[in-house]
Amino acid sequence: MLIKLNKRSTPKSSEITPWGVYQKRRDFLKTAAIAGSIAAVAPSLLLPREAKASAFGEMVTRGRYSTDEEKTSFDAVTSYNNFYELGTGKEDPAENADKLITRPWTVTVDGEVGNPKTFGIDDLLKRYPLEERIYRMRCVEAWSMVVPWIGFELGNLLREVEPTGKAKYVAFETLVDPERMPGQTRAVLNWPYREGLRLDEALHPLTILSVGIYDQILPGQNGAPIRLVVPWKYGFKSIKSIVRIRLTETMPQTSWNMANPREYGFYSNVNPEVDHPRWSQSKERRIGDFLRRKTHMFNGYDEEVGQLYAGMDLSKNH
Ligand SMILES: Nc1nc2c(c(=O)[nH]1)N[C@H]1C(S)=C(S)[C@@H](COP(=O)(O)O)O[C@H]1N2
Ligand SMILES: [Mo]
């Protein structure tokens, strides 16, 4: 069986049809691939190696950069969340996730690009190669998780819209719709939730747009239908339920920086040496563990991303 959906992430009826259609398309592609092999094309060239079954069909490959650390349980990843649009408590997002209807859904990519586009979500789900990336994630609140994301490199999407020579940053926005996002009836943050990256950070191959976890479509509480994942930055940079991506010449505003610039900077790289004004960042508690562990520079991804910040004072650019 290809579609294994946990009860928590069971899609609304509005999602079942597109997924059913999508699944049939995948099955068709597989059949076509096998037919192709009869016409003397090696099947290994058509089907990815290490492909595994998931809600996405057998098209997801184990990506590079995955950690082999023990994964945080599906239950913990989907029941202990920060997602203020669905409530400020850790258990609110799972409770309110059924309100977040994700069809129809579009993502507009515009700004300093030669080829601005609006993508339908079902197109985006099959447009680029999907990979499983098992990443360490660390929240500024000093807890961490290891999450098997399914997604694709943000760079694939950005290259397709052809950034102009002026593009230096990428700004992201979450949906605004108090009916689907009941937390937006309160002004706890300035909606829409906004985040931003420098263009070179956005183009780094570690930076992905995620559409699933644990072989399943992304549950609402984790940012359905599509969210950013930037594993060397504090969790809040990984913006959920994205509807707009805009390339800009100047540094974009971000929700947490607007709310409290002293506590949250634009870069927000995981850095055990630069404490949050109200607490230390040198240690973290992995969800499920009892004892705290050391926090590593750039969340342990320093070899991959350290160069991006050569010559920058990271206590000023925190
Ligand atoms: N739109 C939106 N994105 C968001 C948030 C939010 O409140 N709204 N919270 C952030 C924070 S603080 C964290 S730690 C991560 C949590 O992601 P997870 O629930 O999938 O672990 O989402 C981030 N993305
Ligand atoms: Mo966070």
pLDDT in tens, 231-290: 999 999 999 999 999 999 999 999 999 999 999 999 999 999 999 999 999 999 999 999
74 lines ligand 1 (CB under 6 A): no
Output 90-93 pairs: Cβ under 8 A, ≥24 positions apart: 92/183, 93/220, 93/221
Nearest residue to 152 via CA among 230, 225, 209: 209
d(CA 1, CA 183): 36
143 lines ligand 1 (CB under 6 A): no
d(CA 170, CA 201): 9
235 lines ligand 1 (CB under 6 A): yes
239 lines ligand 1 (CB under 6 A): yes
Q: How far is the CA of 130 from the centre of ligand 2 (A)?
A: 25
Find the helix or strand (DSSP H, E) in which 221 lies: none
pLDDT at 36: 37
Q: Is the pLDDT of residue 128 over 80?
A: yes
Q: How far is the CA of 82 from the centre of ligand 1 (A)?
A: 5
pLDDT at 51: 60
For the chain, the farthest-separated pair of C-alpha atoms sits apart, in whole angstroms, at: 65
pLDDT bin (cut points 50, 70, 90) of residue 54 is confident
pLDDT bin (cut points 50, 70, 90) of residue 32 is very low
Q: How far is the CA of 160 from the centre of ligand 2 (A)?
A: 30
Q: Which pTM was predicted?
A: 0.85
Q: Is the pLDDT of residue 202 over 70?
A: yes
Pocket mutation for ligand 1, best pick of 82, 189, 281 (most atoms within 8 Å of C-beta):
82
The fold for domain 13-309 equals Sulfite Oxidase; Chain A, domain 2 (3.90.420)
**The dihedral formed by the CA atoms of 167, 151, 64 and 109, expressed in degrees to the nearest 10:** -10
Pocket mutation for ligand 1, best pick of 96, 102, 238, 299 (most atoms within 8 Å of C-beta):
238
266 lines ligand 1 (CB under 6 A): no
**Structure letter (DSSP) for residue 295:** P
In the predicted model, what is the mean pLDDT of residues 64-91?
Answer: 96
Q: How far is the CA of 144 from the centre of ligand 2 (A)?
A: 9
84 lines ligand 1 (CB under 6 A): yes
Q: How far is the CA of 234 from the centre of ligand 1 (A)?
A: 10
pLDDT bin (cut points 50, 70, 90) of residue 89 is very high
Domain boundaries, the chain: 13-309
139 lines ligand 1 (CB under 6 A): yes
Q: How far is the CA of 252 from the centre of ligand 1 (A)?
A: 18
72 lines ligand 1 (CB under 6 A): no
